[in-house]
Amino acid sequence: MGAGCSSGVCPSRKSDKLKNSKIIFVVGGPGSGKGTQCEKIVERYGFTHLSSGDLLRAEVSSGSERGKQLAAIMEKGELVPLDTILNMIKEAMIAKASTSKGFLIDGYPREVRQGEEFEKKIGAPCLLLYIDAKAETMLMRLIKRGETSGRSDDTAQTIKNRLELYYKATEPVIAYYQGRGIVRKINAEGSVDEVFSQVANAIESLQ
């Protein structure tokens, strides 16, 4: 049990509707397996999975003007503006707050400032799942995913940019939360089930 989430209730909520929500950040490089593990967590534990990338892709699919601007950023493998993604996550959380057993925030924070702003506007995470795979493993998985995903960012050049940005901007997020004792590092090199057995141990340490 990490600081700030004893008995499943986190302190100092910034939104009344979310004040009793359990929040788990799922952080790892592109292609490390965040989405895959989140699906398995939902299946077994019934948490609410919110993927920042999925929220953004839904906006792009809507064909809105904002979606067009986001698509141009994502195609290059860059980060969209912090306020945009944070507001989308907050709205999605509020919509599910009354029925959710807890939230898996997948793909956020991608930089330390995103974590700070999330805590100011929403609340503190009680666990950070750090999905750790080698760069070569992530690259191979993304190239393979690109054969069928239809994602404009699963292309060789954009994958390279995303990996570089991950090491530069997102890895510091892990060090930032390590100081609070809420980081659980998951070795994501094995099979989906091998990875999930570690993930399940981390989730159960919270119950």
Ligand X SMILES: Nc1ncnc2c1ncn2[C@@H]1O[C@H](COP(=O)(O)OP(=O)(O)O)[C@@H](O)[C@H]1O
Ligand Y SMILES: Nc1ncnc2c1ncn2[C@H]1C[C@H](O)[C@@H](COP(=O)(O)OP(=O)(O)O)O1
- Positions at the binding site: 31-36, 52, 57, 78-80, 107-110, 114, 145, 151, 162, 190
Question: What's the min distance (Å) between Cβ of 30 and ligand Y?
Answer: 4
Nearer to Mg ion, 29 or 35 (CB): 35
In Å, how far are 38, 71, 73, 200 from 33, measured between CA atoms? 9, 22, 22, 14
Nearer to ligand Y, 37 or 51 (CB): 51
**Contact set for ligand Y, span 28-57 (CB under 6 A):** 30-31, 34-35, 51-53, 56
Per the annotation, binding residues for AMP are 52, 57, 78-80, 107-110, 114, 151, 162
Using alpha carbons only, what angle is made at residue 10 by residues 8 and 14, rounded to the nearest 5 degrees? 145
| Coil, strand or helix at 21 | coil
For residue 197, what are its two tokens? 């057995």
Q: How many C-beta atoms surround the C-beta of residue 120 within 10 A?
A: 11
d(CA 5, CA 11): 7
- Closest residue by beta carbon to ligand X: 33
Instruction: At 74, give phi and psi (nearest 5°).
Output: -65, -35
Binding partner of residue 163 among ligand Y, Mg ion, ligand X, none, CB under 5 to 8 Å per kind? none
Q: Which string of x and - marks every residue 69-98 that binds ligand Y (by CB under 6 A)?
A: -----x--x-xx----x-------------
75, 158 contact by CB (below 8 A):
yes
List residues near ligand Y by CB under 6 A. Answer: 30-31, 34-35, 51-53, 56, 74, 77, 79-80, 85, 107-108, 110, 114, 153, 162
